[in-house]
């Protein structure tokens, strides 16, 4: 249950900037297939684009997310934009490798994408690819905040592959953006 919640939270966190990807006729698609049931969601990004600035709740204010306000985020003394810039300037490489008893985690840079692979020893695999340009846009606001609306415009240019792909046994979760208003 806890693992599902973690995956759910991860999907939501990742879907937020994806859902913000440039409004010009693009659609956010989510497909969840567990073998017995299939859920398909198609949301026009223009809808999300118009709603986001109207949300004012806790750390989310007008399309910007204050990450330094999270209770459990100890970011004092960490300059995230600068840290990101350092990563961005590096050549393609693997930055984080964790070979654990229960899971392997890899965070690496490949071309224009920051990628994360989490493989649990079982049959769960989480693959996330975030365009570098989108991360640039996220950090383009004030220190301590993520500019989700700016990420929106940047993500609109990446409509070719899945941005999130989770395989857990028979269940598959896919999140992607393209110009079609249907799935498959």
Partner 1 sequence: MSLWKKLLILGLVLLLLPVAAALAATAAVYSTGTIHLDVDVEDGRFSIPLPAGLLPVAVRFAPRDVCREIDQVEPQWDAMLTAAAAFQEIPDAVLVEVQSREDHVTISKRADRLVVDVMSGSDHVGVSVPSGIVYAVTRSLERTCS
CB of 47 to partner 1, least distance (A): 5
Stretch that binds partner 1, among 123-131, 147-155, 163-171, 175-183 (CB under 8 A): 175-183
Binding mask 124-163 for partner 1 (x = CB under 8 A): ----------------------------------------
Cβ-defined contacts of 131-136 (< 8 Å, 24+): 131/155, 131/157, 131/158, 132/88, 133/157, 133/158, 134/17, 134/158, 135/84, 135/88, 136/84, 136/88
Among 6, 8, 24, 38, binds partner 1 (CB under 8 A): 38
Is the Cα torsion angle 179, 129, 93, 123 positive or negative in sign? negative
Among 7, 16, 43, 80, binds partner 1 (CB under 8 A): 43
Encoding tokens for residue 32?
Answer: 């969840």
Residues at the site binding partner 1, with contacts judged by CB under 8 A: 27, 36-44, 46-47, 50-51, 54-57, 181-183
């Amino acid at each position: 249950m806890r693992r599902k919640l973690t995956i759910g939270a991860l999907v939501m966190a990742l879907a937020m900037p994806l859902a913000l990807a440039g409004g010009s006729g693009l659609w956010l698609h989510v497909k969840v297939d567990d073998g017995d049931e299939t859920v398909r969601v198609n949301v026009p990004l223009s809808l999300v684009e118009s709603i986001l600035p109207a949300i004012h709740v806790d750390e989310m204010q007008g399309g910007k997310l204050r990450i330094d306000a999270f209770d459990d985020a100890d970011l004092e003394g960490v300059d995230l934009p600068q840290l990101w810039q350092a990563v961005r300037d590096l050549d393609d490489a693997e930055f984080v490798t964790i070979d654990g008893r229960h899971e392997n985690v890899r965070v690496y840079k490949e071309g224009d994408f920051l990628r994360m692979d989490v493989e649990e020893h079982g049959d769960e695999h989480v693959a996330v690819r975030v365009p570098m340009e989108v991360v640039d846009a996220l950090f383009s606001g004030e220190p301590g905040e993520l500019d989700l609306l700016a990420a929106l415009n940047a993500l609109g240019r990446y409509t070719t592959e899945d941005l999130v792909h989770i395989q857990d046994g028979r269940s598959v979760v896919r999140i992607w953006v393209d110009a079609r208003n249907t799935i498959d």
